[in-house]
Amino acid sequence: MSTATLVIGASGTGKSTSIRNLNPETTFVISVLDKPLPIKGYKKHYIPIKSWDDKEGNYYSSDDWAKIIKCINMVDKTRPDIEVLIVDDVQYIMANEYMRRASESGFNKFVELGQHMWSIISALISLRPTLYSFALSHNDIDNTGKSKLKTIGKMLDEKITLEGMFTTIFHSIVIDDSYKFLTQTDGVHTAKSPLGMFDEKIIDNDLNIIVKKMKEYNLGE
């Protein structure tokens, strides 16, 4: 089973920037919005795949939940060279489908939206142990003032708590103009990590270092 991690936070707090030090040769990015990566020269390092059999590309863009699951499974089964899988702006999978189906009435579409997101997260947590996945998402403030994963509304939240499917959740914050991740909740931000995985409650937003820490923890080093 894979180490699947959720990274949530407000726009501009360093979620996408956290991939900057990952090795492109062992990293695959699924971009929901196909927006430019905040990495200098990213187009040279992250090349779109040309087909599902492409063994060279390391970038794919779609907001279609079924195609995203297909890509996740492709990386898992046919790309042993990939060690880190990123799904960026995951909440837009729900948001874009909701907008496309805005004219539909009834509760069924919310059930289907929830099922689609559940299926994506289930695919991420069932990957091979050597593949570390990260789902990046914007946050939302609930009616108690707590910061949580952004979804498309209360109806979905009442049926499924998506955060509960992840063992590790980082919350991106900015302290003194520096991008940081919370590794444990402070009572306001949704964050959690296994006991002993990280020594500090606040760490740098560097997924390269984080993956190394996770590997050490999983191997008991």
Smallest CA-to-CA distance from 113 within 101, 125, 126 is with 101
Smallest CA-to-CA distance from 113 within 145, 149, 159 is with 159
CA–CA separation, 32 vs 221, rounded Å? 35
Higher pLDDT, residue 114 or 191: 191
Cβ-proximal residues to 97 (8 Å cutoff; 6+ apart), any chain = 63, 65, 113, 116
Token duo for residue 119: 């299926």
Which residue range forms the structural domain that includes residue 188? 3-219
Can you give the pLDDT at residue 1? 63
The CATH code of the domain that includes 43 is 3.40.50.300
The predicted model gives 180-194 an average pLDDT of 92
Label residue 198 by pLDDT band (50, 70, 90). very high
Can you give the pLDDT at residue 155? 58
CA–CA separation, 154 vs 67, rounded Å? 26
Which tens digit of pLDDT belongs to each residue from 27-69? Answer: 999 999 999 998 889 999 999 999 999 999 999 999 999 999 9
Q: The pTM is what?
A: 0.93
Domain count, the chain: 1
The residue whose two tokens read 């079924």 is 66
